[in-house]
Structure 1
């Protein structure tokens, strides 16, 4: 399943008009989502959540009722999400809503795998799609921390775009991305990786980025392996990709 990074363009709580007062980014890998919404012009989290399908696993607003929603494609290519969910400013009353989302998935010349990890204790989600990294952590019923970073290809660094809460409990991209990218090459959903002394479970893994790179920039050795039906050759292919990734970031 292809990975995706999206930005929310607007939200509408019916019958009210549509508006947008947040800077909202969401990552989707294998049906798992990380959704971070920060208030525009203000330095705090409006909402942050990690979900599977429509079920909230970690949510800063403590919402546990699954969203009931579906998507429709708009003429300009954006996606319209139509559904029902508890409305925060209506005391949690189930309300029909519409959200417009825009695909912002961007990969540089060295496209890498996408993934979403969950800590074994269930409190933390971290994920990367293309050049965007998100992390959300809920230590208790009231303590919540979140972070968003973007990769600047020109300078080859991850730069913080937003942070809130106790950052000592939130992993930075520079700590986790290189390791997770390498492990993702040989991992499937459910596999465990240790990051900075904490065990994380791969909840979503997508190799669409790696396939994009191989097909758009073929070289003799990669093509020779890619078209071979032998299992041993696919193992060699994974090793070759891992070696290239080890020289990145």
Structure 2
């Protein structure tokens, strides 16, 4: 089972000093992920991907993880560096796992279409991401966070880029989607009137039941 919300603390290219030019959040549920990196300097999208982990293997991006004494994870590897002319360069990234807020221990990732545009939606730990890409390459991203406003939990939009319409939790009057407890991986889910496929669904602390194989004796 994979259910993780993480942020990048720093990146170091070759012998450069470590820095963190982005506000990064990675949502991992089952075999799927959503990765959003927003440039701090101008709030532009530095990186936005969604799909299965196998997609990452298509790029020259090779990294290995090792735990650090403080609980963070150090990733060491090689990948193209834009600041160095996209030359494949050694890098070190420090990652930190974020704990789920407000009891939001259930994570999911949905995939579907809006007007023939590819759409990914994901939520875990009080973080909601929505990504939409048109065939022409036009891209829109939405990030929302569950916050406590005068003792009441509400979804708040914290980042929006692009002109394509995206499903929003903050525009609804509930915290979790109706029928969410009935969702199953590979099944259908309805969000804002649109039908999506449930690509990944996990609950923190929930143990998977393994069916015993029939005995041949």
Name the TM-score class by shorter chain.
0.7 to 0.9
Partners of 2:119 and 2:80 in 1: how far apart? 23
Q: Which residue does the alignment assign to 2:107?
A: 114
| Alpha-carbon distance between aligned partners in 1 of 2:117 and 2:90, rounded to the nearest angstrom | 29
The 3-state SS of whatever aligns with 2:152 is coil
**Aligned pair in 2 of structure 1 residues 80, 137: CA closer, same or farther (>3 Å)?**
same
Alpha-carbon spacing, 1:13–1:123, altered in 2? closer, same or farther (3 Å): farther
User: Which runs of 5 or more structure 2 residues have no equivalent in the other structure?
Assistant: 208-217
Asked whether 1:18 is paired with 2:18, we answer yes
The structure that is strand-richer by fraction is 2
Q: Say if 2:117 and 2:134, in contact at 8 Å, map to a contact too.
A: no
8 Å CA contact retained: 1:71, 1:82 = yes
**Structure 1, unpaired ranges of 5+:** 57-62, 213-249
Structure 1 counterpart of 2:30 = 30
**Moved segments of 4+, more than 4 Å:** none
Counterpart in the other structure of 2:126: 131
Query: For residues 117 and 88 of structure 1, what CA distance do their matches in structure 2 show?
Result: 31
Partner of 1:215: none
CA distance in 2 between counterparts of 1:73 and 1:135 reads: 30
Does the 8 Å contact 1:55/1:66 carry over to 2?
Answer: no
TM normalised by structure 2 equals 0.80
Task: Give the 3-state SS of the residue equivalent to 1:140 in structure 2.
Answer: coil
Mark the CA change 1:86 to 1:189 in structure 2 (over 3 Å): closer, same or farther: farther
Deviations 1:133-192 (A, max 9, x none): 1112221353111111110133311011111111x4221123686327x33x33333222
SS, match of residue 179 in structure 1 = coil
Contact 2:31 2:53 (C-alpha < 8 Å) held by counterparts: yes
Residue 119 of structure 1 deviates from its aligned partner by: 1.4
Number of residue equivalences: 201
Give 2:67's aligned residue. 73
Q: Give the conservation status (yes or no) of the 8 Å contact 1:54–1:66.
A: no
For residue 2 of structure 1, report the CA deviation from its aligned partner: 4.4
Calculate the aligned-residue CA RMSD, in Å. Answer: 2.6
Offset at residue 45 of structure 1 (A): 1.2
Higher helix share: 1
Q: How far apart, in 2, do the equivalents of 1:141 and 1:16 lie?
A: 37
Q: Could you tell me which residue of structure 1 aligns to residue 87 of structure 2?
A: 93
Structure-2 separation of matches of 1:136 and 1:45:
12
Alignment of 1:50-199 (within 5 A): 50-56=50-56, 65=59, 67-108=61-102, 110-120=103-113, 123-153=118-148, 154-166=151-163, 168-174=164-170, 178-179=176-177, 182-183=179-180, 185-199=181-195
Structure-1-length-normalised TM-score: 0.71
Is residue 54–residue 68 contact of structure 1 (8 Å, CA) maintained in 2?
Answer: no
> Residues of 1 paired with 2:65 and 2:117: CA distance?
28
